[in-house]
């Protein structure tokens, strides 16, 4: 009985310390959790300066063929940390913060079109000594991955597209409809309350994330609101992707959540017709971020896709 009481007292004291730490040092607590998650996935944070003056921060880990993963609008490199733990045993995984996001450079007047971002990432690959690679991308990152493959088709072994943006001939999703009605962009939160709504909007079945972590992430987006609004306009107004990639021969796996509210799921069929060597997987009860909502399933599908490419 005495041991039980001691255990309860110790546990209560520990929980009180955790609460105090997360309340008064949420940024530090979040950084610790991110480091633990990256370590579990075999990823290490690195950084590099390019000759152009751009500064990239990226995650890297694993051995094998290079696989560069590109996050979407308003996100950062850690959107792929969860799924990467299933990939680093097989591949050399590189996950950069794209220019304008996360810890990489935020030049206020830069060109943030997919064409420009693809050029930046090609320069990053060259700086890392990578000549051939496989690309994956979520949302805006998928749009950039497609653009990269259209510019450097002989340097991209395959594409993994997770609800890529840029297929503007598709029916409008809930995001576009909401913007038409209210003029407000759900992807550009101005406060923590709006970020909470964004979190629910982009994922149908989100994993548990502590509130203090969400608040830290929200603050990063709020601080960069003006820049991200500018980037969004450049991304939205770029209607060249479908013509650019039509007939592209790069083997491609297209993944879309059936409950995606940001980009209409019918985009998958349109893109499939444009890419003659593409496959499509539609995931039920999944929203706009399948690699977070169903990391194990999405990774297993990708591994099967890559295994199929290796067969004669």
Which of the residues are catalytic?
71, 139
**What single-letter DSSP state applies at residue 57?**
E
* Residues 159, 249 contacting (CB under 8 angstroms): no
Strands 252-257 and 156-162: parallel
Beta pairing partners, 66 = 92
Distance CA 300, CA 291 (A): 11
What residues pair up with 60 in beta bridges, in sequence order? 44, 94
Instruction: State the DSSP code for 287.
Output: -
Closest Cα partner for 90 from 283, 305, 312, 311?
305
**Distance between CA atoms of residues 246 and 270, nearest Å:** 10
């Amino acid at each position: 009985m005495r041991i039980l009481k001691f255990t309860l007292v110790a546990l209560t004291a520990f929980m009180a310390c955790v609460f105090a730490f997360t309340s008064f040092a949420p940024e530090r607590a979040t950084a610790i959790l991110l480091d633990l998650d990256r370590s579990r996935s075999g990823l290490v944070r690195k950084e590099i300066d390019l000759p152009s003056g751009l500064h990239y921060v990226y995650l890297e880990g694993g051995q094998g063929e290079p696989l560069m993963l590109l996050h979407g609008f308003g996100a950062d490199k850690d959107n792929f940390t969860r799924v990467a733990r299933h990939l680093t045993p097989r591949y050399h995984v590189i996950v950069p913060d794209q220019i304008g996001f996360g810890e990489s450079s935020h030049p206020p007047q830069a060109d943030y079109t997919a064409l420009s971002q693809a050029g930046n990432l090609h320069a990053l690959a060259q700086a890392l000594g990578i000549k051939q690679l496989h690309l994956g991308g979520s949302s805006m990152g998928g749009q950039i991955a497609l653009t990269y493959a259209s510019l450097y088709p002989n340097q991209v072994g395959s594409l993994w597209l997770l609800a890529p943006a840029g297929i503007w001939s598709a029916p409008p999703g809930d995001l576009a409809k909401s913007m038409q009605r209210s003029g407000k962009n759900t992807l550009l939160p101005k406060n923590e309350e709006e970020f909470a709504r964004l979190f629910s909007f982009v994922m149908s079945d989100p994993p548990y994330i502590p509130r203090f972590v969400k608040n830290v992430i929200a603050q990063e987006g709020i601080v960069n609101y003006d820049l991200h609004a500018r980037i969004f306009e450049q991304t939205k107004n770029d209607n060249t992707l479908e013509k650019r990639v039509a007939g592209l021969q790069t083997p491609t796996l297209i993944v879309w959540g059936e409950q995606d509210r940001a980009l209409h799921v019918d985009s998958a069929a349109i893109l499939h017709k444009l890419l003659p060597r593409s496959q499509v997987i539609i995931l039920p009860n999944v929203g706009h971020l399948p690699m977070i909502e169903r990391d194990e399933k999405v990774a297993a599908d990708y591994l099967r896709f890559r295994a199929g490419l290796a067969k004669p």
